[in-house]
Structure 1
Amino acid sequence: MYFAALLARTEDGWEASDTELDDVETLSDLADLAREAAPDEDTVLVLIEQEDAWFGVVRFDGEDDARIYVSDALAAARSSYGEILLTDELLGRDPDDPGDDLDALDLDGTEDGENDNENDDTDDATGDDSLPHGPVGDRAILDDLGVSEKELLSLSGDAVGEIADALGASEVLETVR
Structure 2
Amino acid sequence: MYFAALLARTEDGWEASDTELDDVEALADLTDLAREFADRTGADDETVLVYIEQEEGAWFGLVRVDGEDDPRIYVSDAAAASRSSYGEILLTDELLGRDPGAADLAADLDALDLDGTEEGEPEAAEDPETVAGYSPPASEDTVPPGPLGDPGILSDLGMSRADLLTVDENDPLTAIGDALGVSDVAEAVR
User: 2:120 — aligned with what?
Assistant: none
Q: Quick one: which amino acid aligns to residue 70 of structure 1?
A: V
Deviations 1:93-149 (A, max 9, x none): 111212xx5x9748xxx83323588999643312xxx21110000011000000000
Q: Quick one: which amino acid aligns to residue 114 of structure 1?
A: D
How much does 1:9 deviate?
0.3
Aligned residue among 158, 165, 173 for 2:178:
165
- Whether the 8 Å contact between 1:48 and 1:160 is mirrored in structure 2 is no
Aligned residue among 121, 125, 141 for 2:140:
125
Equivalent residues in 2 for 1:4-83, closer than 5 Å: 4-39=4-39, 40-51=44-55, 52-83=57-88
Instruction: Return the alpha-carbon distance in structure 1 between the equivalents of residues 106 and 189 of structure 2.
Output: 42
Q: Quick one: which amino acid aligns to residue 77 of structure 1?
A: S
Deviates more, 1:148-157 or 1:162-171: 162-171
> For this pair of structures, how many residues does the alignment match?
168
Percent of paired sites with the same residue: 65
- Whether the 8 Å contact between 1:8 and 1:42 is mirrored in structure 2 is yes
TM-score (norm 2): 0.81
Q: Quick one: which amino acid aligns to residue 171 of structure 1?
A: D
| Unpaired stretches in structure 2, ≥5 consecutive residues | 116-122, 129-135
Q: Quick one: which amino acid aligns to residue 169 of structure 1?
A: V
Deviations 1:52-82 (A, max 9, x none): 1001111000010010000100000000000
Instruction: Return the alpha-carbon distance in structure 1 between the equivalents of residues 2 and 157 of structure 2.
Output: 24
User: 1:154 — aligned with what?
Assistant: 166
- Whether the 8 Å contact between 1:42 and 1:62 is mirrored in structure 2 is yes
Question: Does the residue aligned with 1:162 lie in a helix, a strand or coil?
Answer: helix
- Whether the 8 Å contact between 1:35 and 1:41 is mirrored in structure 2 is no
> Could you list the runs of 4 or more consecutive aligned residues of structure 1 that deviate by over 3 angstroms after TM superposition?
103-106, 115-123
Bigger Cα Rg: 2
Question: Does the residue aligned with 2:112 lie in a helix, a strand or coil?
Answer: coil
How much does 1:165 deviate?
1.7
How much does 1:31 deviate?
0.5
